[in-house]
Chains A and B, each alone.
Chain A
């Protein structure tokens, strides 16, 4: 049995919302610095997957993965967080990528809101059938 349209669109809205959250976190931490390479902020992205492989269904999030891109190592001896060699470790967030991600996520979210509005209207009309 496949899931209802409200579940499908709802799951997509939840997924896109998570994506927007991750983007917000990434953009907020774009300029965070750390004293160690391990402690540096790495961009986070959710991984989407179809709920039911061969049936009609919504979308689920398998998890959030951290970007494997190299972190931004800078030589700033005056920085309070600099290590003995004078390096600080910035995030590996790509601002352009995050902005593109944000636009894509908000467009997808809107699509699903529109879809829900249409389906709701259709269902209300169906309830009035034969009157």
Chain B
């Protein structure tokens, strides 16, 4: 019950943490020959974990119910508890080719890292307010 209550934000937080790691690896390997920059497509991950999130606000109730699991469209499908940890890592399309085969754009990676950190904090903030809301309800204040 509490899993579902926090699911979207918990998943988002996990994916953000994973992305932080990937971006850190990109920045660490900014001077490594033949290193290819990587990233995960966050929107797609969240859509996989949370089918219906792309739909309009009308479906927000249906969405909340299916949070945390993959949609099964056939009775023979096996339902899974998809965790965002299995987000597919993809290689970035380089904007500019470099002679040593490295595709890291240092400034871009830093900008993405900063953006990711802010969004991580946002997810954290959402979880915090949900928890404090829950505690307030339990106390009946």
User: Does A5 lie within 8 Å of B128, measured CB to CB?
Assistant: no
Most buried by B among A5, A9, A11: A5
Question: For the complex, would chain A's binding face be called helix, strand, loop or mixed by DSSP majority?
Answer: helix
B21 touches which one: A47, A56, A126 (CB < 8 A)? A56
Contact status of A125 and B106, CB under 8 A, knowing A108-B30, A108-B31, A111-B30: no
Query: Is B80 located at the chain interface by the 8 A CB criterion?
Result: no
- Chain B, interface SS category: helix
Interface residues of B in 66-123 (CB under 8 A from A): 89, 106, 110, 113-114, 117, 120-121
- Other-chain residue from B20, B21, B28, B120 in contact with A11 (beta carbon distance below 8 A): B28
Per-residue B-contact encoding for A76-118, CB less than 8 Å = 1, 0 else:
0000000000000000000000000000110110011011001
B127 touches A112 (CB 8 A): no
The CA of A126 and the CA of B120, in the complex, are separated in Å by 10
A130 vs B135: C-alpha distance when bound (angstroms): 10
Chain B proximity of A112: nearest CB distance (Å): 6
Q: A8-B24, A56-B22, A111-B106 are in contact. Are A122 and B120 (CB under 8 A)?
A: yes
Chain B residues lying within 8 Å of A107, measured Cβ to Cβ, are 106
Contact of A65 with B by CB under 8 A? no
Complex Cα spacing A104 to B113, Å? 20
Q: Check A115–B24 contact: CB distance below 8 A.
A: yes
CA of A12 to CA of B27, assembled, Å = 8
Residue of A nearest to B30 (CB): A108
8 Å CB contacts to A: which residues of B9-36? 20-22, 24-25, 27-35
Ordered nearest first, which 9 A-B pairs have the shortest CB separation?
A12-B28, A130-B131, A48-B32, A56-B25, A5-B24, A8-B24, A8-B28, A58-B28, A50-B35
Q: Would you give 20 A-B contacts (Cβ < 8 Å), ordered by A? A: A4-B21, A12-B28, A12-B30, A47-B33, A48-B32, A56-B25, A57-B25, A58-B25, A58-B29, A59-B32, A115-B24, A115-B27, A118-B113, A118-B114, A122-B120, A125-B121, A126-B124, A129-B124, A130-B128, A130-B132
